[in-house]
């Protein structure tokens, strides 16, 4: 019987892993396809408006999988490697034969500076427009989230000792409304970089309003340590320590625990909640303990040897079981934040700007060492996020697409040769000096830009692999 249960759990785990992989691949391919296509369409659309002949519009790189000739002469291509795309325009600098007078009038390099700048800037601008449209859509449909109900601040945090009672509602941060927990976290991160003080407005369980201020000068701006050291944590309703699933070859399986068991006591000491039980487990790797469990209405005892694993360089205890979370546990905490069509349009633009500006500041803090480069994600983690949000629902996936679209827009505007921002930097120099940047300088810039992008991609892949196998 026990072997059959373990085999079923193992098969469920394999199926879950396979479904996660499928969601990740599908979500990533759709995300890259949509975002890259829209970015390149920006270049294409403005180029056509400026009278430039577009030779090829390619989504992806490498061998063409599908191609078609449009009436205006542009070749549409879907290529094998879905990690980018490009728009190839007529340019006499890349032509092996002299261009005719008609072709010269349609060549990119013959267009005035303002037109070339508009064509290059159109890709990132279209990414921002797409993000604003996604944010508009999700605010019209409604964003599922949880209410910003917080717990008493833990000891040794910046807010420790402040009069914040458990189950207080965070209403605003520095005057900015926080209707959901996600909005609260983004606002705190934004204001921690913009201000020396966080002014929190809270509503206690009794309905009384209170103001709490905390200095940000001693707090890091790196997101994870910021929230750890600040001490503003989401209130967690007590979860009964009832087991939902036993992992195969785990300490729980070895002890004979089964799905549905309720942990009543440990060595005769009552276990009140799942969080209390997990806290003891993590602190006692390798410990042997006698558990009292309730199964089928009767209590019995089993001996458990706590397992161990390495997490963040420390050895912690582990059980190998998943908790049974009551379906209605978070019912009173859930909320759906909606806006009207016009209000959501304004919010979409504002949120796109806020995320873009926050991204720029985070990049700046990375350069000076205030924010860890571990926050840089590569295609592996992006694919995982894509799969998780796609499996969760349309609103979550659109939010993910909006965030990545903003990131692509910001990244492409960086003044790095090989990127759109690098070309715009050349055009700025051309506007100042009155003549184009020399081909020699552009060639050196391209080589430097290629090295910088290779280094960035290498770091992103390293972070991905570290998270995957670390």
- Domain boundary assignment for the chain: 112-142+339-470, 145-237+330-337, 243-323
- Angle (CA) 276-264-331 rounded to 5° is 60
Q: Provide the pLDDT for residue 377.
A: 62
Do 145-237+330-337 and 243-323 come out as alike in CATH topology?
yes
CB atoms within 10 A of CB 219: 19
Is 372 exposed, middle or buried (CB count within 10 Å of its CB: 0-12, 13-18, 19+)? middle
In sequence order, the β-bridge partners of residue 132 are: none
What pLDDT score does 196 carry?
A: 87
pLDDT of residue 101: 85
Positions marked catalytic: 40
**Contact (CB, 8 A) for 86 and 37:** no
CA gap 119, 117 in Å, rounded: 5
Picking from 213, 203, 235, the residue whose alpha carbon sits closest to that of residue 162 is 213
Task: Please give the helix or strand (H or E) that residue 411 lies within, else none.
Answer: helix 394-412
Which architecture characterizes domain 243-323 according to CATH? Roll (2.30)
- So what's the pLDDT on residue 171? 94
Query: What's the DSSP call for residue 426?
Result: H
State residue 5's pLDDT score. Answer: 44
pLDDT at 6: 47
Which residues of the chain are modeled with pLDDT < 70?
1-21, 23, 312, 370-387, 390-391, 456, 459-470
Chain segment 399-454, per-residue pLDDT in tens: 888 988 998 899 889 888 888 998 899 899 989 988 888 878 877 877 787 787 77
CA dist., res. 7 & res. 11, Å (int): 6
Decide: helix, strand or coil at residue 370.
Answer: coil
- Under DSSP, is residue 429 helix (H, G, I), strand (E, B) or coil? helix
pTM of the model: 0.73
Fold classified for 145-237+330-337: Pdz3 Domain (2.30.42)
The C-alpha atoms of residue 363 and residue 356 are separated, in whole angstroms, by 11
CA-only gyration radius of the chain, Å: 28
């Amino acid at each position: 019987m026990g072997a059959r249960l373990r085999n079923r759990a193992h098969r469920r785990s394999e199926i879950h892993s396979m479904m996660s992989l499928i969601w990740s691949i599908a979500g990533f391919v759709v995300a890259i396809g949509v975002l890259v296509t829209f970015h390149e369409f920006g270049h294409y659309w403005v180029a056509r408006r400026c009278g430039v002949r577009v030779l090829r519009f390619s989504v992806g790189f490498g061998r063409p999988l599908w191609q078609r000739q449009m009436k205006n002469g542009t070749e549409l291509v879907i290529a094998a490697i879905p990690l980018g795309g490009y728009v190839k325009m007529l340019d006499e600098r890349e032509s092996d034969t002299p261009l005719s007078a008609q072709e010269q009038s349609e060549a990119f390099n013959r267009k005035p500076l303002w037109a070339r700048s508009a064509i290059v800037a159109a890709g990132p601008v279209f990414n921002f427009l797409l993000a604003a449209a996604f944010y508009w859509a999700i605010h019209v449909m409604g964003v599922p989230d949880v209410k910003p109900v917080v717990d008493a601040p833990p000891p040794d945090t910046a807010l420790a000792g402040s009069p914040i009672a458990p189950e207080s509602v965070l209403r605003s941060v520095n005057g900015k409304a926080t209707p959901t927990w996600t909005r609260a976290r983004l606002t705190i991160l934004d204001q921690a970089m913009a201000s020396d003080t966080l002014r929190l407005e809270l509503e206690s369980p009794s309905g009384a309003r209170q103001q709490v201020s905390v200095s940000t000068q001693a707090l890091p701006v790196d997101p994870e340590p910021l929230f750890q050291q600040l001490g503003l944590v989401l209130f967690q309703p007590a979860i009964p320590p009832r087991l939902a699933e036993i992992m195969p070859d785990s300490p729980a399986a070895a002890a004979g625990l089964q799905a549905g068991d309720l942990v009543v006591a440990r060595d005769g000491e009552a276990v009140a909640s799942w969080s209390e039980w997990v806290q003891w487990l993590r602190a006692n790797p390798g410990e042997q303990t006698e558990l009292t469990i309730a199964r089928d209405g009767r209590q019995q005892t089993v001996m458990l040897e706590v397992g161990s694993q390495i997490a963040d360089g420390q050895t912690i205890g582990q059980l190998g079981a998943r908790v049974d979370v009551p379906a209605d546990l978070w019912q009173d905490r859930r909320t759906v934040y909606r806006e009207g069509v016009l209000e959501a349009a304004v919010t979409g633009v504002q949120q796109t700007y806020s995320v873009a500006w926050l991204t720029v500041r985070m990049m700046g803090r990375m350069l000076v060492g205030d924010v860890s480069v571990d926050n840089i994600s590569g295609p592996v983690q992006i694919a995982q996020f894509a799969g998780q949000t796609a499996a969760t629902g349309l609103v979550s996936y659109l939010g993910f697409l909006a965030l990545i679209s903003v990131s692509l827009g910001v990244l492409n505007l960086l003044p790095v040769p090989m990127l759109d921002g690098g070309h715009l930097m050349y055009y700025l120099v051309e506007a100042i000096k009155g003549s184009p940047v020399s081909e020699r300088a552009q060639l050196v810039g391209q080589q430097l830009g290629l090295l910088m992008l290779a280094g960035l991609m290498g770091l992103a892949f390293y972070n991905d692999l570290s998270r995957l196998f670390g």
